[in-house]
Structure 1
Amino acid sequence: MLQTFQIIAVIQGLFLLLYLFKNKNKYQPYNFWFLSALLLSLLFYIVGDDNNNLFLYHYDFFFVDKTLFVTLLFLFLKYFETSKKLNYSIAWYFIPTLIYILIELYETQFIESFWIEVAEHAVYLVCVIYLIFSLIFLKKIKIAKFIKTPFYFLIFSVLITDSLLIVDFLIESDIIVTLNSILIFEISILFYYLTYIFVSDHNFFDLPVTHSKYKNSSLNSKDIDAYKKRIIEAMEVDKLFTNENLSLQSFSETIHIPKHYISEILNIHLATNFQDFINEYRVEEFIKKYSNPENDHYSILGIATSVGFKNKATFNLNFKKFKGISPTEYKQNYLQ
């Protein structure tokens, strides 16, 4: 049964990779390469585990073990919103993967020793640390909730597995084979989810993109940081989003930043567009007010219009877009 899941997941993974490469020019280079490498390493892991190898019986593709895809996931999330040029120093993050490969090569030639086992589980511990930081990075990234979901799923799946492997070593049990099979199954499910979302919404992989009109941008890193800070401040402090007639033009005039720079900051450095940017703040402000007992005498529509939504239809559409459920369902699930 597991083999069936593996085969279907491989087909779906190749389909997703094909889409990414076909639209390569749309994406930020770092996002494209880290995500592509991550998906590819996950595919190799699905087919290459020694006890579940699809092609060679009892042969382990250890060079693409989970240490590699955990590192790629960590780097993808760490540099998701970066506008700076990366250098070769990121190679240091791959040291745990290199150590793991050397350990596996050693074990193919020599008898496994206690200290080799210690080194191997030390690598698992580093992976756990990478995963914890990945959670922190993911929480800070401003992208739609439904895009974050598969990354949360992957992080928690591997985090639990690696933690159990460390415990397995400490108590000297023998559950590693079972854990690897479970993880392969979970990653296969991840590809099913990704494909389902992609078929439902072709914009799923529309992460921060490199628009051709910004290639010759005159903004330097200092300008980017200053403009980004002012744009966010205009939302979180000045709450300009509460103006239902707020437009890019009026926003530009209010905060004294040219329109094209605002668009560039939002599209490239905050992974969003102007309308989604202000509507997400409106949804969050609605939840704050809706959760406050002092506002119980207001209707849902009354609170929605007070935070900047023009009508009920627009409000419902955006609430479900950013929260995944309707306002009524949100109240039943979280505010009772």
Structure 2
Amino acid sequence: MSSIALPQSEPMTGLPPKVTVYEVGPRDGLQNERDTVPTQVKAQFIRRLLDAGLETVETTSFVHPRWVPQLADASELLADLDEVGRSPLRPVLVPNERGLDRAMEADVEAVAIFGSATEAFAQKNLGRSREESVEMFAPVVKRSQDAGMWVRAYVSMCFGDPWEGPVPVDRVADACAELMDLGCDQLSVGDTIGTGTPGHVEALLAALEQRGIGMDRIGVHFHDTYGQALSNTLTALRAGVSVVDASTGGLGGCPYAKSATGNLATEDLVWMLNGAGVETGLDLDKLVATSVWMAQQLGKPSASRVVKALSGA
């Protein structure tokens, strides 16, 4: 391990005092892995993340196994986790009502739906138009709310689409508003292929605020394809966002968009926030150790620069 365990902390103005890291490694991080990760390894991964101080951890997805084989063991994983996996802080992704049925059978208390800002990705990911996908999600959200569950709405391709190219900011804001109008508690704005830049982030957040979606209801989800994830995150924090999606070790991608590389690494985010004097409640040493361990399970090095620096990998 490096002798420099933490950055020098110099408080930065204009940032929230505390940031909630929404950990997506077990779901979004692992979903694109070709080799099957054993259920017991996934469960240990989640327990290690919780031990490192992470509170909100998205554990798995109830999508059909044909589409995401890696997460076919969702029910088994939640059974292994038992009480640890049943909390408003342990969301699972549900693509439709059948997925919601399975989530309810597992007694989960929080779910996430996954929409799109573009027609092309809606067809690729959901097999239907954007309008039809909203219609599909409406009963999912209503039933979830009636059951007292917390609901998150992901919107993908908010900063560019590999099939459609640039996506107008107003169109993205409209797509986000459509899902939030269903009654979702939180919106995650996704840069699925990592093409966003700070000015673009600033413009979209302003457009969302104009549509009545406050920064207190928004999380940001950046991929680091072009090395912009941290700068985009800093822009969002300065705009008032305080929830940031990240994946331990920088794991992740998208099975339907091959240009989507890894998520923002949790360790890289925590290093930046520690240096800026922002509280996260996370133990960086434990996160790094977990990433090193997970890299060994997957047989490939961690993509996180902080993990590489601190572990000597």
TM bucket, shorter chain: under 0.3
Bigger Rg over Cα: 1
Report which of the two has the higher share of strand: 2
Report the TM-score when normalising by structure 2: 0.24
Report which of the two has the higher share of helix: 1
Which structure has more RCO (C-alpha within 8 Å, separation ≥ 6)?
2
